Structure 1
Amino acid sequence: MKHEFVTLNHVQTHLITFGNPFDCDGKDVIVCITGNPGIPDFYIEFAAELHKSTGLPLCVIGHAGHDIVPDEQSNVLKGQEHLFHLEGQIKHKLELINNYVDKQSKLHLIGHSIGCWLILELLRDNENLAMRLKSVNLLFPTLQKMAETRNGKFVNNYLRKFHNVLLFLYLVVSLLPTAIVNFLVGIYLRIFSLPSRYLKYILKFLNPNVGEKILFLAYDEMDTVKSLNVEILNKIKHFTNVIYSSRDNWAPVSYMEDLHQPEIPMREVNIDHAFVLKSSERVAEMVTQFINTKL
């Protein structure tokens, strides 16, 4: 596993790679696009299991601005909003695939949550990308009517209205002594039975520069993700796999009906939307099974 920093669409970006997806003699490559928050560290266990079980080189990409990077300008939202909304995130992912992933390689795309919507949008105007596809896995996909979901209503009715308060709380946390923040996060991890290694990942989430971009993207999702991109789904239905959760307040199982086509295998599981916290291996096993049918 490697942690790499590259500049994509003018934003320095933290990538996590297994094998060498950028130079692999044309071997198939897995590209995993995270949900929001787009902090790739949370996907390490999931990616490691996928790499181990498929033997394929792999790259995990989060979202522009959702990580702490050395380049200070890449951490600034004001005046650069166009780099961090959904349209900017599409260009961000497209530059990774077009300019870094081995150009001879076929692709297995994996999206989680809003990462699924980004995959469909990437395929909308990029025929060359569609021609490279071997498989697509849409995990707990937020593809339509996000603002109408239970969590979407919470974002619009509460988080959005108290945005300045949230930013103030981020600032307060950043001013607290490190020992106190670590202690409080440690309590959170114990309450929810999460591994201690998540401490450093959550500290990234609590960074004010990261937090404001997570919220900025979330609001754009509420305003933008409305209609299902049926046209693209029809084009990729023969090599697409979809997983929904019976307890998902971002992508309710009732939304499965909009996607239903005989050619698209869909599975309903009892796993949290944020599967990377506790169910990485289980979901990786399901994704591996599908990828292996397309090799």
Structure 2
Amino acid sequence: SITMESSMEGCQTQFIYCNGAATEVLKVGAAHHLSGTDVLFLIIPGNPGVVGFYRSFMQTLHGMLGHPVWAVSHAGHCAPPGSMDMVEDKRDAFGLNGQIQHKLIFLQQHVPRGTSLVLVGHSIGCYMILEMMKREPGLKVLKAVMLFPTIERMAQSPQGKLMTPLLCQLRYLAYLPVFLLSLLPHSLAALLIRLLFSILVLFPAAVNSMYLGGQEMRMVLERDDVTIRRNLDRLIFYYGATDHWCPVSYFQDMRRDFPHGDIRLCDRGLRHAFVLDAGREVAQMVAEWIRSSHHHPPPSCFSAGMRPWSSPALWVSPSWFCPSWSNISAPRSRGVPEVWSFTLRQLGQLLRCSPPGNHLPPCRKVDSDGLEMTSDPSQGDGHQLQR
């Protein structure tokens, strides 16, 4: 592996081979000393799975909760250093199934056994998380946050109808230059590749992203209700109100089928690619959601000095989710581009409970009949608004 310290405070970038493919890992906080007793926030990105897009999201999340936050790129969705090839062996790590296996292998090889996980998925990363929890039910997942989840009927969504022909047929045009180069003498082809590499450094990653996108259209069909129901108390879903990849009708179906689930609809106008302009805002929301899940433990928990997750089988010390109220404010901006669009403050405003001294506006929820509900403590949970 190749490790590079970032100029951004507290960030480290590492390039490794995982499941036979070049992989970029971005780490914020405790990069060198993660032990099996720690809580790790692990981000599974959307497509393209470029972890640099999530930097400000990660810095804000770490600044608020004080725990290490890692993001692992999708296999081949990075520009590795010149000393690394994109593929180490011939296994297909770039398809949807390979990407899921890639994440499980990463956990096995790079995360100490026994580490408690808070998984944060974005877009297709949410589908991968559900598959990970299905294939490895023994994973110690405390919570899984699903941001703008594309977990069903992708090809039938408005954006899917537009992109399916492009991803499933026209993507093969990207392989034409590779085929033409294969016809040239090896020395000449190598020279041309070196000349073009500085311009097309991300071309292989773009091809891998298109390849994954084509498989998403074909394979993400029916929602995995069995896995969702089995893990419902550990899942938080956050849908966009203007998301063309997972329209509001998908949110309404989820609320109808899982009335007791934590399923939220954005009221801030955030776009699917939230990391482009709202990474800090979404991170603040996520941090507050995590805190609120520990806010009302039964009396017996206090005597033990513990607070539970929603699942009675999972008990976690309160110090992990809120080491200090003084850490609530997000870190100052250091000019990092936000290349997707998760919204931290948004996630915070959707909370039922807020930290001492912080007033959050009431969050909007929608009941199974389509009526908006507030959870403003001053009005009582379940106060009904007009449609």
Fold-level match, TM-score > 0.5? Answer: yes
Q: How many pairs does the alignment contain?
A: 265
Corresponding residue to 2:56 among 34, 41, 45: 45
Aligned to 2:278: 279
- SS class of match (1:227): coil
1:66 and 2:77 correspond: yes
Larger deviation: 156-165 or 222-231? 156-165
Contact 2:152 2:221 in 1 (8 A): yes
The structural deviation recorded for 1:21 is 5.6
State the Cα distance separating 1:4 from its structure 2 match.
1.0
Change beyond 3 A, Cα 1:257–1:127: same
Contact 1:136 1:241 in 2 (8 A): yes
Look up the match of 2:15: 5
User: Residues 112 and 138 of structure 1 are in contact (CA less than 8 Å); yes or no, is this contact kept in structure 2?
Assistant: yes
Does the alignment pair 1:141 with 2:140?
no
Residues 21, 101 of structure 1: 8 Å contact kept:
no
Answer with 1 or 2: which has the greater Rg: 2
Gap change, CA 1:135 and 1:22, over 3 Å in 2: farther
Q: C-alpha distance in 1, partners of 2:31/2:138?
A: 18
1:101 aligned residue (108, 111, 116):
111
For 1:194-213, list aligned pairs within 5 A: 207-213=202-208
Q: Residues 88-237 of structure 1 correspond to what in structure 2 (within 5 A)?
A: 88-129=98-139, 132-165=140-173, 207-237=202-232
For the residues of structure 1 that align with 2:176 and 2:17, how far apart are their CA atoms? Answer: 30
Match of 2:234 among 236, 239, 242: 239
The CA deviation string for residues 66-119 of structure 1, in whole angstroms up to 9 with x for no partner, is 101137774259x94621101111111011212212323211000000000000
Structure 1 residue matching 2:142: 3-state secondary structure: strand
Retained in 2: the 8 A contact 1:10–1:74? Answer: no
Q: Is the 1:22–1:102 contact (alpha carbons within 8 Å) kept by the matching residues of 2?
A: no
Structure 1 residue 243 displacement after superposition: 0.7
After TM superposition, give the deviation of residue 125 of structure 1 in Å.
1.9
Higher RCO structure (Cα 8 Å, ≥6 apart)? 1
Computed over aligned residues only, the root mean square deviation of the Cα atoms, in angstroms, reads: 2.6
Check conservation: 1:34, 1:40, Cα contact below 8 A: yes
SS of residue matched to 2:265 = strand
Structure 1 residue identity aligned to 2:131: E
Secondary structure at the counterpart of residue 134 of structure 1: strand
- Asked whether the 8 Å contact 1:140–1:251 carries over to 2, the reply is yes
- Which residue is equivalent to 1:188? none
User: So what's the TM-score if we normalise by structure 1?
Assistant: 0.82
CA gap of 1:226–1:271, structure 2 versus 1, over 3 A, is same
Q: Percent identity?
A: 30
Counterpart amino acid of 1:47? Answer: M
Unaligned segments of structure 1, at least 5 residues: 182-202
The normalised TM-score by structure 2 is 0.63
Does residue 82 of structure 1 match 2:92? yes
Unaligned runs of 5+ in 2: 1-10, 182-193, 295-320, 322-387
The answer on whether the counterparts of 2:44 and 2:73 sit within 8 Å (CA) in structure 1 is yes
Q: CA 1:211/1:72 → structure 2, altered by over 3 Å: closer, same or farther? A: farther
Is the CA contact 1:34–1:112 (under 8 Å) kept in the aligned structure 2? yes
SS at structure 1 position matched to 2:238: strand
How far apart in 2 are the matches of 1:20 and 1:235? 32
Deviations 1:124-182 (A, max 9, x none): 121211xx1111100000000000011111122344333244567999xx98897xx8x
